[in-house]
A and B are shown apart, each in its own frame.
Chain A
Amino acid sequence: MAMMTYRDALNAALREEMERDPDVFLMGEEVAEYDGAYKVSKGLLDAFGDKRVVDSPISELGFAGLGVGAAMAGLRPVIEFMTFNFAFLAIDQVINSASKMMYMSDGQFPIPIVFRGPTGAALQLSAQHSVSCETYYVHSPGCKVVTPATPADAKGLLKAAIRDDDPVAFMEGELLYNFRGEVPEDDDYVIPLGVADLKREGSDVSIVTHGKMVHIAMQAAAKLEKDGIQADVLDLRSIRPLDVDAILASVRKTNRMVYVEEGWSFVGVGAQVAHIVQEEAFDHLDAPVLRVTQADVPMPYAKSLEALAKPTAERVVDACNKVLYR
């Protein structure tokens, strides 16, 4: 095990996969000369040259489409969006080209592409730069969506995403890049997509979540523990494919669930998970499923209001107490 940041774990995954497979290349705004806006691609230009680490113009729709074409032609592109918030224009290439090509070509054109970058809010980036974009991508069949929360997951899942033959939206977080954690040094450390991870084992309530909110959930679980409550914290890690078995196993154990989601509640990931739980584990529920999400407003710029709009550990604790009838 090595202690490293989430950023360095991503960098290691890119470096290892580019060494492993000459078809893998990285393209995006400032990924080459500037080492990436968040320094994820540090040193890759020197290591692999400007044919495989390519600076693009500020044109998300253009270079996303270029990537899809390269994937159709047999390469394995990694397209970096400076943030998924900047890629709303490019989602046409992700949904309409990348996600459907395999289906529409009757299997002739697999699209082994990774679109990666941060999603969700950071600090005071206001309404247009704080959206949790995963909901837009998971809605459409054909695109896998992965949301690593820790450095180890970031490395293992990115390697799996690059090796996967389907398009993968790989969603990171500005506030995660400096997060440090243990990462296995094995250069073949690959975490299969679609396997959730029980980040903390409890017995009283299931806190299910994905992405950055795993850390909020862990804080909430620590607070609950002081109160004698043991929470399961289940990190989905990928939303498509979804590890339904792991969700149901946790709920069948604790009989109650709180879903924590950085994005909005309306038709959110938590709504879908709650639906599955009521359908598949109805007789195991002792309380309605509750969700802790962002307030249903565009993210406010004001610091005080932004804090009120985001999910917090306190709100997760409150929701857990509610489903525990405490």
Chain B
Amino acid sequence: MITKVHMEALSPTMEEGQLVKWHKAEGDEVASGDIVAEIETDKATMELVARGDGVLRRIILQEGGTAPVGEVIAVIAGADEDISEVAGASANGGPASSGPAAPPPAAPSAAKGADSPATPAAERVEDTGRDGERVKASPLARRLASDLGVDLSRVEGSGPGGRIVKRDVEAAREAAPAAMAYAADESEYEDVPVSQLRKTIARRLAESIGPVPHFFLTIDVDMGRVIQARQSLNALLEQSGEKVSINDILLKAIAAALRKHPDCNAHWQGTTIRRFNAVHIGVAVAIDDGLITPVVRNAHAKGIARIAREVRELAGRARERKLQPDEYTGSTFSVSNLGMFGIHEFTAIINPPEAGILAIGGIEDTPVAADGQVVVRPRMRITMSCDHRVIDGAQGSRFLATLKGMLEEPTAILL
């Protein structure tokens, strides 16, 4: 029996995957469930398993190549079975020209843990142009654009009703190198390929700053008591060898404050706003070539030491690209901390459908007026980005006031 190996949706938002490594060679015996390849998704490197028994007869997508979800990337069949019908596509220069493809099988990992596993189709956005309307292009123009790497949303269509046709794609392709003509020799720049992860970041952030109406609230916090609290906690933890960071305490305080302000712990869903009781905090982690936000689940119900352990463990695996999809999805609120880079203050872009994100600056010794005297205090600046469709200024401000109160008097977290 012939089993087509498809590029599967190995993350809930994955639209295409890059083939990192084939674990089987052409001619190898394969049993259902065997790992056949490693695929770099938009989030992590995942394993692709065989869904049929036989011999790996044909590898269509070579290592390093990229294919959209649903594309046939290899063929498993009996040793002597005729596979010309399914494998013939590779002779025409790649799977893109293959016949009607079977619908992509849903990967089990895509459904696990996610509240609503998004189908790849629902997530597709490249068909929309600048004004959000569907791009009208001939089938040939679409294929050419994909082959030549031309972004159809930036091409002006000359056909009826603005349809993009072959000549428009070719013109766009020719125009692109012309614009670069004045660029100096190659030593002045480096062309860095856009990774799957970078593509996802670009798409998601553009999606956010466009349709999401952001506004920003900034507050200064005196961190003296938090620093003391951290010292006390670490003294208590000394025997266990564990340590907590300022950021861990911060996460705990944010979770506690969000419990008191569920209007800020919410998702925009178009026709409804979903306010969460549980607090799942997405923690932005810088990794090579991008960032990812592993989720500390039920942060409101966990102790600071446990939060510290989880954050370290998740961040470590994030840097190794080993996170499972359910570990970086489903957050209700996010935090980005650039204090360690010496950043005083900044604004963060909301991770939709969440309604808010906190941008945490560094703790700096700052002269402040207290009781008529200028004193030097460890101060930290927090800027909250709010989706105005969900959170109004007063709601966000009340949440920040609660958070400030908890950080300046950490025992309030216990209330």
Which residues of A are at the interface with B, using a C-beta cutoff of 8 A?
Answer: 255, 280, 282-287, 325
Nearest chain B residue, comparing its CB with the CB of A284: B140
**Chain B contacts of A284 at CB under 8 A?**
139-140, 143
Q: Report how far A287 CA is from B161 CA in the complex, Å.
A: 13
Partner of A286, one of B96, B97, B138, B160: B138
Report whether A325 and B165 are in contact in the complex, using a CB–CB cutoff of 8 Å.
yes
1/0 per residue B128-165: CB within 8 Å of A? 00000000001111110000000000000011100001
Report whether B159 and A255 are in contact in the complex, using a CB–CB cutoff of 8 Å.
no
Report whether B139 and A285 are in contact in the complex, using a CB–CB cutoff of 8 Å.
yes
Nearest chain A residue, comparing its CB with the CB of B97: A283
Nearest chain A residue, comparing its CB with the CB of B141: A286
Q: Report how far A73 CA is from B160 CA in the complex, Å.
A: 60
Nearest chain B residue, comparing its CB with the CB of A278: B139
Q: List 19 A-B contacts (CB under 8 A).
A: A255-B166, A280-B99, A283-B96, A283-B97, A283-B143, A284-B139, A284-B140, A284-B143, A285-B138, A285-B140, A286-B138, A286-B141, A286-B165, A287-B138, A287-B159, A325-B158, A325-B160, A325-B165, A325-B167
- A244 → chain B closest CB, angstroms: 13
Q: A280-B99, A284-B140, A286-B165 are in contact. List 19 more A-B contacts (CB 8 A).
A: A255-B140, A282-B139, A283-B96, A283-B97, A283-B143, A284-B139, A285-B138, A285-B139, A285-B140, A286-B138, A286-B139, A286-B141, A287-B138, A287-B159, A325-B158, A325-B159, A325-B160, A325-B165, A325-B167
Q: Report how far A54 CA is from B99 CA in the complex, Å.
A: 52
Q: Report how far A286 CA is from B166 CA in the complex, Å.
A: 6
Q: Report how far A284 CA is from B99 CA in the complex, Å.
A: 12
Report whether A287 and B97 are in contact in the complex, using a CB–CB cutoff of 8 Å.
no
- B223 → chain A closest CB, angstroms: 60
Chain B contact residue count (CB 8 A cutoff): 15
Q: Report how far A325 CA is from B96 CA in the complex, Å.
A: 26
**Chain B contacts of A255 at CB under 8 A?**
140, 166
**Chain A contacts of B159 at CB under 8 A?**
287, 325
Q: Report how far A280 CA is from B92 CA in the complex, Å.
A: 14
**Chain A contacts of B167 at CB under 8 A?**
325
**Chain A contacts of B99 at CB under 8 A?**
280
Q: Report how far A325 CA is from B171 CA in the complex, Å.
A: 15
Q: Report how far A287 CA is from B138 CA in the complex, Å.
A: 6
**Chain A contacts of B97 at CB under 8 A?**
283
Nearest chain B residue, comparing its CB with the CB of A255: B140
**Chain A contacts of B142 at CB under 8 A?**
283
Q: Report how far A282 CA is from B137 CA in the complex, Å.
A: 12
Nearest chain A residue, comparing its CB with the CB of B142: A283
Q: Report how far A200 CA is from B138 CA in the complex, Å.
A: 26
Nearest chain B residue, comparing its CB with the CB of A282: B139
Q: Tell whether A283 pairs with B158 under 8 Å between CB atoms, given A325-B165, A325-B167.
A: no
Report whether A283 and B139 are in contact in the complex, using a CB–CB cutoff of 8 Å.
yes
Q: Report how far A280 CA is from B139 CA in the complex, Å.
A: 12
1/0 per residue B224-267: CB within 8 Å of A? 00000000000000000000000000000000000000000000
- A26 → chain B closest CB, angstroms: 45
Nearest chain A residue, comparing its CB with the CB of B166: A286
- B350 → chain A closest CB, angstroms: 38
- B222 → chain A closest CB, angstroms: 63
Report whether B140 and A286 are in contact in the complex, using a CB–CB cutoff of 8 Å.
yes
Q: Report how far A286 CA is from B158 CA in the complex, Å.
A: 12
**Chain B contacts of A283 at CB under 8 A?**
96-97, 139-140, 142-143
**Chain A contacts of B141 at CB under 8 A?**
286
- B368 → chain A closest CB, angstroms: 66
**Chain B contacts of A282 at CB under 8 A?**
139
A-B complex: 5 closest residue pairs judged by Cβ atoms: A286-B140, A283-B143, A286-B166, A286-B138, A282-B139
**Chain A contacts of B158 at CB under 8 A?**
325
Q: Which of A255, A283, A285, A286 has the most CB of B within 10 A?
A: A286
1/0 per residue B89-105: CB within 8 Å of A? 00000001101000000
Q: Report how far A221 CA is from B340 CA in the complex, Å.
A: 72
Q: Report how far A287 CA is from B160 CA in the complex, Å.
A: 10
Nearest chain B residue, comparing its CB with the CB of A287: B138
Q: Report how far A283 CA is from B140 CA in the complex, Å.
A: 5
Q: Report how far A255 CA is from B96 CA in the complex, Å.
A: 17
Nearest chain A residue, comparing its CB with the CB of B138: A286
Q: Report how far A286 CA is from B157 CA in the complex, Å.
A: 12
- A110 → chain B closest CB, angstroms: 30
Q: Report how far A285 CA is from B163 CA in the complex, Å.
A: 13
- B360 → chain A closest CB, angstroms: 49
Q: Report how far A325 CA is from B165 CA in the complex, Å.
A: 9
Nearest chain A residue, comparing its CB with the CB of B140: A286
Q: Report how far A284 CA is from B147 CA in the complex, Å.
A: 13
Q: Which of A255, A285, A325 has the most CB of B within 10 A?
A: A325
Q: Report how far A213 CA is from B392 CA in the complex, Å.
A: 71
- A106 → chain B closest CB, angstroms: 29
Nearest chain B residue, comparing its CB with the CB of A288: B138
- A252 → chain B closest CB, angstroms: 10
